[in-house]
Chain A
Amino acid sequence: MIRLEGVTKTYKGEVVALRDATAEIQRGEFVFLVGPSGSGKSTFLRLVNREELATAGTIMVAGKDVGTLSSWKVPYLRRSIGYVFQDYKLLPKKTVAENVAFALEVIGRPRPVIRRKVPAILDLVGLGRKSERFPEELSGGEQQRVSIARAFVNQPLILLADEPTGNLDQATSVGIMRLLDRINRSGTTVLMATHDRGIVDTMRRRVIELDRGVVVRDESRGVYE
């Protein structure tokens, strides 16, 4: 589903964020991306999403070489990738339901489809009764659920999550992880960058560790270390 081959990413010609990284992630896997701050986790995710282009090496996503993908096809690649952030990136002037609907609206999905899908996905993330609230009226955990709903509503093949529990307390994080686990069990490949030792150690999923841009460890059912 995702394959990196000898990928190097250099920012502005000097900062090497990723160095000769190689990894292959199969369809349906759940993978943690760990490593100290600045080790290149976010860069890894942004390369998959083609927010950044690799300086060297090849990246294949869902059978397509994202490095040579013509720019007009990038939006279509992104429709098969959901993205969740530490800071949620919700639109403050839209309600919960509108935030989720927005993701479908802007890729041109018909309104009946939107009207059907949005309540369903909000039920799935446990926010069915708060759909008319605004983001600022929700707790952090609830906001993250909205952002996951938005990322997942179009049923992507891949879900990228960049420290989704970074701003949440332990109990709330567990809830978010249950949700991501459930999404993963529905067949979606999940790649999650995290600093959260407790989560990695309890979930016991595949762990890819980066250190200064180099893949130093890749084990199935790994721990944080």
Chain B
Amino acid sequence: MVFRVWYFLRETLVSLWRNLSLTLAAILTVAISLSLVGSSLLIREGAERATAQFQEGVEFIVFMNADVLSEQDAAIRDVLGTSPAIAEYTYIDKAAAYQEFRELFSDKPELVESVTPDIMPPSYRIVPANPDADNVAELARQFGEQPGVKEVATATEAIRQIEDFSTRVSQALLFAAVVLVAVSAVLILNTVFTAIGARREEIEVMKLVGATNWFIRIPFMLEGTIHGLFGAAMAIPALFVVDNRVLAYFQESEAVPLFRGFAVPDGYVWNTSIWMLVIGAAIGMVGSAIAVTRYLDV
């Protein structure tokens, strides 16, 4: 088996080297398309984290004091339950708030450790009957004056812009990425096809002396997989650059209310990187598999 591994590696490397310009083109295309895939995922994730509390029609959030009295809390709840201006609300208690906080900052354990459920403010996420900006502002002002209320955060224009921006950008990136992924698969297919063409004679001899089909195929599939993996590896640093940009964008926006993270945690970036390697390898394998099945005739 050791001998075979050596054989496959040697054959694959020779072939990669022989086809250098096509190989580089294939790797670069994979790198570009995967950078786009990754960026799109990061931007979507970043925006989602920044605006997580304002999903599904929630227009403002009433944060209570951590040491709110139960009759103050009951009064707020009473208004929320009876007022025709409120369509719906969700109560986030201390435990739930703490849980969210932990998830959000899971890659910053020292921050999580500095916090206990005790000091988390419970809150109400509120869907108003009329989501008009003026109306929301007025409701927020009214709730802000109630005893026991610490702060009211509204889904400001900026938050809507983040959502809007992220949706549009990530969709555009994703579309470009899908096109480019297809292009890179075709390029890999072509490169492997060329590699097969360059070794017609060898393949003929191999078949003649009884090499198995897999033995003939593996170096070519390995070649395609290497294109995909190298491309993905090149896209990973690009991903970290984009991560910093996304972070900067959301941090500068100041649209983000209490305890919200605007950055994508490093863990998520690494996860995305692993996914990109997987996708890269998959593109390479699919491209080369199509090439060997179509052109190898073994």
Contact = CB atoms under 8 A, between A and B. Distances in A.
Nearest to A92: B201
A76 B205 contact: no
B202 A107 contact: no
Contact of A78 (B4, B204, B207, B216): B207
Main secondary structure of the interface of B (DSSP, over half): helix
A76 B204 contact: no
B209 A78 contact: yes
Contact of A89 (B7, B205, B212, B216): B205
Interface string B185-202: 000000000000000011
26 contacts: A72-B212, A75-B207, A76-B210, A77-B210, A78-B207, A78-B208, A83-B208, A89-B201, A89-B205, A89-B208, A91-B202, A91-B205, A92-B201, A102-B205, A103-B209, A105-B3, A106-B209, A106-B211, A107-B211, A107-B215, A108-B4, A108-B215, A109-B3, A110-B3, A151-B209, A154-B210
Nearest to B204: A89
Interface of B: 3-4, 7, 201-202, 204-213, 215-216
Contacts of B210: 75-79, 81, 107, 154
Nearest to A73: B212
Instruction: Pick the 4 closest A-B CB pairs, nearest first.
Output: A78-B210, A79-B210, A106-B211, A103-B209
B3 A111 contact: yes
B205 A75 contact: no
A150 interface: yes
Number of contact residues on A: which range applies? 20 to 34
Contacts of A106: 7, 205-206, 209, 211, 215-216
A206 B201 CA distance: 33
Contacts of A83: 208-209
B126 to A, nearest CB: 66
A111 B210 CA distance: 17
B209 A79 contact: yes
A77 B211 CA distance: 10
Interface in A126-167: 150-151, 154
Contacts of B213: 71-72, 75
Interface-central residue, A75, A83, A150, A154, by most chain B CB under 10 Å:
A75
A196 B148 CA distance: 110
B196 to A, nearest CB: 15
Of listed B4, B201, B209, B213, residue having the most chain A CB within 10 A: B209
B18 to A, nearest CB: 11
B7 A105 contact: yes
B1 to A, nearest CB: 9
